[in-house]
Amino acid sequence: MYISTPLYEFDDRLVESPCSNLPWAEHRDTPDKDMPYPDLRTFSYICKIRTIQSFFMHMIEKDELEGKPVPLDLEIHMLRELREWENDDTIRKHSFPTSRGYQNPLWLQHIGHLTRLSFCFVSRGNIFSTNADNALQASCAACTSFRCLQKKKQIAQPWLAVLSQFRAAVTLWYIIWARMTPVPQHANDAIRDCSAVLAIFADRWPKAEHYRDCFEWLASTIPRSQPQGQLSAEARQGLATLLVKLEESGIHRTTSRMLHEICETESRTEVHT
């Protein structure tokens, strides 16, 4: 089962109204017209995003696709569904520009970036596909948008923020490693932002140190590999050591798969010796 209720969907007829759409209030026996209703426009947005995420997870579990490539038709369908809720006009209707909390438009944009990233399964088999391009774009956007939130001192729960930022960072580095190319120009800002985010978290929260250390390993090792994407046995052993600590602390399965691939893939020099 997945979340499918239309109860909190936004009603365009209420755009001009100061009140949110509260369909359950229509059945009150004695409605009080003077009673101020809470504005649930952001809540309705989050419910819709969670519905989209829930449906995707339901399909992955139903078809036993965990750790496997997502069917192209499902991926296209999910991205199309999300695109409608990612656009600036929809976010404007469901957010409060002056808010300093989770109702701020930047938070809703960030949620959209993370959701789009979760729909994109990246492997060496599709590393040059549009899917991988979408994943790279979503990773960069997630790192950059969260850094903006951090600068505004709108910080989420450390545990969830670290895991989501680390997943975005690993996806970014995995794509660069698998494509065996230099760091793309448009990814430089995202890498710098994610480095700052994880460094700040590690400084304030000791459990984040392993995630920061792994990110720094990826940032210092992958760009310097010669040839590109070919890591030495010593370098890969260093990542394997870090990965053990990460899995003890907690790590997303997709993130773990990508890191295992990086540290278990022998270089061409090793293969031919």
pLDDT tens for each residue of 26-49: 554 555 555 555 577 888 888 888
**pLDDT exceeds 70 at position 174:** yes
| 26/178: higher pLDDT | 178
- pLDDT given for residue 68 in this prediction: 66
Mean pLDDT of 109-128: 89
- pLDDT given for residue 20 in this prediction: 44
- pLDDT given for residue 92 in this prediction: 86
Distance CA 104, CA 90 (A): 13
Compute the C-alpha angle 234/240/242, nearest 5°.
110
Determine which of 185-189, 203-207, 260-264 has the lowest per-residue pLDDT on average. Answer: 203-207
Distance CA 265, CA 268 (A): 9
Residue 160's alpha-carbon distances to 100, 140, 167, in angstroms, are: 19, 18, 11
**Best CA proximity match to 259, nearest among 273, 272, 243:** 243
Distance CA 98, CA 162 (A): 26
Distance CA 169, CA 199 (A): 13
| 53/270: higher pLDDT | 53
Burial of 30 (0-12, 13-18, 19+ CB in 10 A): exposed
**Best CA proximity match to 194, nearest among 268, 122, 267, 113:** 113
Residue 83: CB partners within 8 Å, gap ≥ 6?
none
Distance CA 175, CA 154 (A): 29
Residue 80: CB partners within 8 Å, gap ≥ 6?
none
The percent of residues above 70 in pLDDT, for the chain, comes to 78
| 127/18: higher pLDDT | 127
Mean pLDDT of 133-140: 94
- pLDDT given for residue 169 in this prediction: 96
- Answer whether 195's CB lies under 8 Å from 186's CB: no
Show me where the domains of the chain are located: 161-273
The average confidence (pLDDT) of the chain is 80
pLDDT tens for each residue of 244-254: 999 998 988 88
- pLDDT given for residue 149 in this prediction: 87
> What predicted TM-score, i.e. pTM, was given to this entire model?
0.79
**Best CA proximity match to 168, nearest among 220, 98, 111, 209:** 111
